[in-house]
Chain A
Amino acid sequence: MLGTDKYAYQSNIKRVDPVDKLLVSFGILFACIFFDRWQISLAAFAGMIAMNIYFGGHTLPDIGRMLRVPAGFIALATLTIVLGRYSDAPLLGIRLGEYFYGMTRESLYQGFSIVAKSFGIIASMYFFMMNTTMVDFGAAMERLRVPKLFTELTELVYRFIFVLTEQAHRIKTAQEARLGYHDLSTSYRSTGILAGQLLLESLRRTDRIYDALESRGYQGELTMLHEEYERDEKVVGAGILFAGSLVLIFVLLRGLA
Chain B
Amino acid sequence: MKVFLEKVKRDRSDIRLLMTMAAFAVAALLWAPARAMHIAEGFLPMRWAAIWYVVALPFVFYGFKRLNSVLKDHPKAKILLAMAGAFAFILSALKIPSLTGSCSHPTGIALGAILFGPGPMAIIGLIVLLFQALLLAHGGITTLGANLFSMGIIGAWVAYGTYRLMRKSGLSMPIAVFFAAFLGDLMTYVVTALQLAVAFPAAEGGMTASLVKFLGIFAVTQVPIAIAEGILSVIIFGFIAQYSSEQLIGLDKDMGYGDETQLKRLYESNKSGSLRGRTIALVIAAALVAIIPLYVVKDAEFGGADGAAMDIVAEIDPSFEPIFEPLLEPASGEIESMLFALQAAFGAGIIGYGLGRITKGKNKEKEV
- Give every chain B residue within 8 A of A152 (Cβ-Cβ): 78
- Give every chain A residue within 8 A of B136 (Cβ-Cβ): 2-4, 69
Output the nearest chain A residue to B251 by Cβ-Cβ distance. Answer: A203
Question: Known pairs A73-B40, A75-B31. 12 more at Cβ < 8 A?
Answer: A70-B41, A73-B34, A74-B40, A85-B204, A157-B85, A157-B131, A161-B86, A187-B96, A196-B236, A198-B87, A199-B236, A219-B75
- Give every chain A residue within 8 A of B67 (Cβ-Cβ): 149
Instruction: Work out how many contacts link A and B, with CB atoms closer than 8 A.
Output: 278
- Give every chain B residue within 8 A of A187 (Cβ-Cβ): 96-97
Q: Which single member of A73, A99, A119, A209 contacts B13 (CB below 8 Å)?
A: A99
Query: Are B79 and A210 in touch, CB under 8 angstroms?
Result: yes
B267 at the interface (CB under 8 A from A): no
B residues sitting closer than 8 Å to A (CB atoms) are 9-10, 12-13, 16-17, 20-21, 24-25, 28-29, 31-35, 37-43, 45-46, 49, 64, 67-68, 71-72, 75-76, 78-87, 89-91, 94, 96-97, 106, 108, 111, 123, 127-128, 130-131, 133-138, 140-142, 196, 200, 202-205, 209-210, 213-214, 217-218, 231-232, 234-240, 243-244, 247-248, 250-251, 254, 275-276, 279, 368
Complex Cα distance, B228 from A100, in Å, reads 36
| Nearest CB on B from A165, distance (A) | 6
- Give every chain A residue within 8 A of B31 (Cβ-Cβ): 71-72, 75
Query: Are B29 and A76 in touch, CB under 8 angstroms?
Result: yes
Instruction: Knowing A36-B46, A72-B33, A85-B17, say if A196 contacts B97 (CB, 8 Å).
Output: no
| Nearest CB on A from B182, distance (A) | 15
Instruction: For the complex, count residues of A whose C-beta is within 8 A of B.
Output: 92
A97 at the interface (CB under 8 A from B): yes
- Give every chain A residue within 8 A of B218 (Cβ-Cβ): 76
A121 at the interface (CB under 8 A from B): yes
A residues sitting closer than 8 Å to B (CB atoms) are 2-5, 29, 32-34, 36, 66, 68-77, 79-81, 83-87, 96-99, 101, 104, 106-107, 110, 114, 117-122, 125-126, 129, 134, 137, 147, 149-150, 152-154, 156-158, 160-161, 163-165, 168-169, 172, 184-185, 187-189, 191-200, 202-206, 209-210, 213, 218-220
